[in-house]
């Protein structure tokens, strides 16, 4: 195994231009200049949006100049015959790649929903391990459980890093969070802190009362709508439930009244597209040398960072004074929120203020969109299949005391196989993070192919969860497959079953599984147990549109509007 820098030059997919751009990356001592994978993935969408901005026109104006420079680069740096021969030998050890265009590579083949277009491409060319070139960026797309196991288990130590993203670097302070941080000592320390103190099973259990209180408030709102015969925008309701719960966990109860929950939701909504957006210069690093394009992204990111700073600094300062009072014995320790926990371990882990802020942002970005989108998909599937909704309600009827107004987590600890099967099936068919972004830190060999160091790897968990070689009726929503003698009754999401990766696997697996599942189970249980759900007049079940919008988290395009009827 060779280190990244030594090996990077050996990697060339098709265009000599690519090699040139990468040489420049190496020369500038930035071996990790590849973009955020999610950024890459929303390419087309962003591009259409960007066409309306001055920046896009700037790009179009710069394109001829770029092509001229590319030609110049080709002639100036043309490889020697011997180098080409050696490159050919290296290429022969790579899996084959679909045909590409000059300059763009395979960029034009990535659509608005990259996980879907990448699956079509992999299927068309029969490639479970598919090297692509997006602009000048080499990417390896992994589309089968077997290939995912090779990456996430056999070579987990090689692929446990993340690709670089300019936006994450600015907005996430380095990045100093867990999710975007490159593999290394800092990531290890931050991940340990998060899994031991913030998102441990014990900590998640200690937030049980908070979850139950938040669910009670939501049920009261739905109850009012039911009494009035009014429709409820479920997408919005579920979004604000998870947002409020996240705020409560992070900053404590006392901040809801100050409007900080709303501010936080706005900030997350403003930041997510940028974190998921694509930056021209990251696909064409050659252009970044002019510095013009990266400035636009930089300015936007810095503006957001200032807004985050203002909110997070205030939150931390408020907590610091309270923490000090508790430490001096002037006040009782009534607060156990995550900022408080972070302050208590700050010295032990040697955390700076910026690092604390980045770690808090992970809880917001990791937790809020994921759980609410997942709940939205699940409710939509259950409405489309009323017999499944009835089966789930029957499970509650037989498991919880009659007339129970709130299903608590204690009630859920009883055996509820169908509830768990519905959640698993929803995660299989609609993984809200469908492309897992990884980065190779060294070269390694998979199936006789040499995978070079310094390569961005995307594991298509959406394609893997629908792989007909592993799943019967792979495109259908059938929770029964996960129970009894169903074909997947032994499969779980702990990262050992590589045909089912909604939370990833290996070192970079989701750090918030327990937190996420606890929120989802409690909310879904109460929605289904307390209410029957109907569609607004004039809308049929078949009209529910399951199409998606790609972003940091994939969500349903259409809002889910339902009319509740009180059951209990």
State the residues that interact with ligand HEM by CB under 6 A: 178-179, 191, 199, 362-363, 366-367, 370-371, 374, 432-433, 436, 502-505, 508-512, 515-516
CA distances from 497 to 203, 341, 435, 461, 468 (A): 26, 33, 17, 12, 15
CB of residue 184 to ligand HEM, shortest distance in Å: 12
Nearest alpha-carbon partner for 274 in 297, 294, 292, 305: 297
Q: What are phi and psi of 134, to 5 degrees?
A: -105, 105
277 vs 465 by CB, closer to ligand HEM: 465
b (16+ CB within 10 A) / e for 452-469: bbbbbbbbbbbbbbbbee
The smaller minimum CB distance to ligand HEM, of residues 515 and 531, is found at 515
Nearer to ligand HEM, 516 or 551 (CB): 516
Q: State which residue, 138 or 512, has the beta carbon closest to ligand HEM.
A: 512
CB of 52 within 8 A of CB of 268? Answer: no
**DSSP 3-state helix, strand, coil percentages of the chain (rounded to 5)?**
60, 10, 35
Minimum CB separation of residue 242 from ligand HEM in Å reads: 8
Smallest separation (angstroms) from ligand HEM to the CB of 477: 17
Compute the C-alpha angle 529/534/540, nearest 5°: 140
Q: Convert 354-391 to b/e letters by CB count within 10 Å (16 or more is b).
A: ebbbbbbbbbbbbbbbbbbbbbbbbbbbbbebeebbeb
Closest distance to ligand HEM from the beta carbon of 300 (Å) = 24
List the binding residues for heme: 510
Q: For the beta carbon of residue 120, count every other beta carbon within 10 angstroms.
A: 12
Residue among 178 and 441 whose Cβ is closer to ligand HEM: 178
Feature table: binding site = 510
Structure tokens at 156: 């987990």
At residue 107, what are phi and psi to the nearest 5 degrees? -55, -40
**Least separation in angstroms between CB 429 and ligand HEM:** 13
- Return d(Cα 174, Cα 167) in angstroms, integer: 10
- In terms of Cα–Cα distance, which of 143, 95, 135 is closest to 119? 143
487/485 Cα distance (integer angstroms): 6
CB of 73 to ligand HEM, least distance (A): 34
Q: Min. distance of Cβ 269 from ligand HEM in angstroms?
A: 17
Q: How many CA atoms lie within 13 A of 554 on its CB side?
A: 25
Rounded-to-integer distance, Cα 544 and Cα 386, Å: 13
Asked if 500 and 507 touch (Cβ cutoff 8 Å), the reply is no
Q: How far is the CB of 197 from ligand HEM (least distance, A)?
A: 13
């Amino acid at each position: 195994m060779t280190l990244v820098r030594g090996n990077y030059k050996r990697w060339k997919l098709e265009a000599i231009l690519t090699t040139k751009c990468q040489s420049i990356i190496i020369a500038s001592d930035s071996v990790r200049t590849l973009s955020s994978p999610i950024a890459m993935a929303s390419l087309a969408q962003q591009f259409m949006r960007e066409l309306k901005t001055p920046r896009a026109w700037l790009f179009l104006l710069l394109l001829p100049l770029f092509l001229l420079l590319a030609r110049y680069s080709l002639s100036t740096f043309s490889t020697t015959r011997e180098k080409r021969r050696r490159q050919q030998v290296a290429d022969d050890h790579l899996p084959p790649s679909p045909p590409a265009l000059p300059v763009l590579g395979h960029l034009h083949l990535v659509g608005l929903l990259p996980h879907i277009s990448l699956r079509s491409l992999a299927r068309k060319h029969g490639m479970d391990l598919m090297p692509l070139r997006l602009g000048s960026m080499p990417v390896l797309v992994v589309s089968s459980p077997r290939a995912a196991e090779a990456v996430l288990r056999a070579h987990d130590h090689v692929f446990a890093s993340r690709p670089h993203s300019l936006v994450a670097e600015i907005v996430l302070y380095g990045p100093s969070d867990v999710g975007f941080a490159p593999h290394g000592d800092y990531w290890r320390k931050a991940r340990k802190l998060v899994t031991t103190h913030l998102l441990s099973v014990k900590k998640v259990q200690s937030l049980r009362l908070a979850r139950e209180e938040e669910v009670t408030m939501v049920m009261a709102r739905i109850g009012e709508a039911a009494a009035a015969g009014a429709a409820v925008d479920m997408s919005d309701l579920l979004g604000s439930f998870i947002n409020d719960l996240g705020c409560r966990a992070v900053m404590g109860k006392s901040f809801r009244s100050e409007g900080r929950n709303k501010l936080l939701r706005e900030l997350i909504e403003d930041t997510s597209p940028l974190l998921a957006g694509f930056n021209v210069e990251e696909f064409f690093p050659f252009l970044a040398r002019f510095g013009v394009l990266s400035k636009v992204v930089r300015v936007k990111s810095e503006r957001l960072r200032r807004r985050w700073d203002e909110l997070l600094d205030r939150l931390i300062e408020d907590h610091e004074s309270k923490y000090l009072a508790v430490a001096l014995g002037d006040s009782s320790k009534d607060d156990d929120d995550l900022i408080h926990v972070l302050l208590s371990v700050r010295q032990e882990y040697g955390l700076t203020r910026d690092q604390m802020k980045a770690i808090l942002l992970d809880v917001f970005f990791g937790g809020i969109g994921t759980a609410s989108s997942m709940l939205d998909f699940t409710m939509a599937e259950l409405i489309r299949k009323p017999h499944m909704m009835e089966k789930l309600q029957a499970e509650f009827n037989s498991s919880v005391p009659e007339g129970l107004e709130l299903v608590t987590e204690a009630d859920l600890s009883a055996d509820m196989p169908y509830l768990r099967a519905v959640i698993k099936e929803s995660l299989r068919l609609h993984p809200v993070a469908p492309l897992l972004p990884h980065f190779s830190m060294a070269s390694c060999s998979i199936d006789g192919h040499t995978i070079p160091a310094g390569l961005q790897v995307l594991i298509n968990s959406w394609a893997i969860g629908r792989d007909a070689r592993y799943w019967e009726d792979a495109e259908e929503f059938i929770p029964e497959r996960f129970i009894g003698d169903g074909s997947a009754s032994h499969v779980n999401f702990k990262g050992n079953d590589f045909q089912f990766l909604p939370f990833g696997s290996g070192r970079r697996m989701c750090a918030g599984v327990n937190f996420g599942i606890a929120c989802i189970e409690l909310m879904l249980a109460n929605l289904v147990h307390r209410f029957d759900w109907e569609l607004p007049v004039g809308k049929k079940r078949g009209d529910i549109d399951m199409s998606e919008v790609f972003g940091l988290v994939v969500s349903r395009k259409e809002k889910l509007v339902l009319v509740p009827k009180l059951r209990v």
